[in-house]
C-alpha cells in the first residue's frame, strides 16, 4: 500500500507543475491578451445565421475577447487556421469531412441532411490547442438554441 501512495504522490507532484490542458501555440493566452478572436466564417445556410451569431456572442463572453470575423470559402479558412492565421472557423461541415484528421471539428450547433450526408454548422479549431478546444466545446454547449 505504501508503494501505491508513493506513486500517487509522485504523479500528483509531477502534475502540479503541468500546465494542462495546454495550447502549444498559445491560442487561449493570445486571445485573452489581445482581446480578439480571429474567426473565419464560411458560407452557411441562411437559417443558421442566427445560430452563428449566438455562438459568436457566447464565445465573446466566454473568452473576454471580441470576434473579428472574415468571410471566405471554407477551404481557404481551414488552410489559414492550419497556418495559425485564424483561431476558429465556423461553417457548414459534414460529419465525415476530410479535415477531421487535420483540425478539431466540434459538435455542430445545428444539423441538416444534404443528400445522403449529415451537415452541421460547426466550429473548427487548430488541432492540439487543448485549452482553446475545451473553451470552444464548453461554449458550444452553453450557446442558446431554438427560437429567439
pTM for the model: 0.82
For the ranges 18-22, 122-126, 130-134, the lowest mean pLDDT is seen at 18-22
Supply the pLDDT for residue 145: 79
Q: Which residue has the cell 475545451?
A: 134
Supply the pLDDT for residue 2: 52
Whether pLDDT at 95 is above 50: yes
Neighbouring CB atoms inside 10 A of 141's CB total 9
Q: Can you list the domains of the chain with their CATH numbers?
A: 23-142 (3.40.190.10)
Question: Average of pLDDT values for 74-81?
Answer: 95
Rounded Cα–Cα distance for residues 64 and 83 (Å): 24
Question: Average of pLDDT values for 118-146?
Answer: 93
Decide which of 95 and 128 is more confident.
128
DSSP string, 76-131: HHHHHHHTTS-SEEEEEEETT-GGGGTEEEPPPSEEEEETTEEEEEEEEEETT-HH
Residue 119 in 3-state DSSP? strand
Tell me what the pLDDT averaged over the chain comes to. 86
Question: Average of pLDDT values for 67-78?
Answer: 96
**Can you read off the three cell numbers belonging to residue 80?**
489559414
| 21: preceding bond cis by omega (within 30 degrees) | yes
The per-residue pLDDT for range 34-48, each reduced to its tens digit, is 999 999 999 998 889
Supply the pLDDT for residue 101: 82
CB distance 90 to 102 below 8 Å: no
Whether pLDDT at 20 is above 70: no
Amino acid at each position: 500500500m505504501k508503494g501505491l501512495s508513493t506513486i500517487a504522490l509522485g504523479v500528483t507532484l509531477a502534475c502540479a507543475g503541468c500546465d494542462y490542458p495546454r495550447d502549444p501555440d498559445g491560442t487561449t493566452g493570445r486571445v485573452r491578451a489581445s482581446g480578439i478572436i480571429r474567426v473565419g466564417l464560411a458560407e452557411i445556410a441562411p437559417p443558421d445565421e442566427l445560430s452563428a451569431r449566438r455562438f459568436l456572442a457566447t464565445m465573446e463572453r466566454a473568452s473576454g475577447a471580441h470576434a473579428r470575423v472574415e468571410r471566405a470559402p471554407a477551404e481557404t479558412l481551414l488552410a489559414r487556421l492550419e497556418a495559425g492565421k485564424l483561431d476558429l472557423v465556423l461553417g457548414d461541415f459534414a460529419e465525415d469531412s476530410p479535415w477531421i484528421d487535420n483540425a478539431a471539428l466540434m459538435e455542430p450547433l445545428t444539423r441538416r441532411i444534404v443528400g445522403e450526408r449529415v451537415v452541421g454548422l460547426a466550429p473548427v479549431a487548430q488541432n492540439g490547442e487543448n485549452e482553446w478546444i475545451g473553451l470552444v466545446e464548453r461554449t458550444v454547449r452553453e450557446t442558446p438554441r431554438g427560437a429567439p
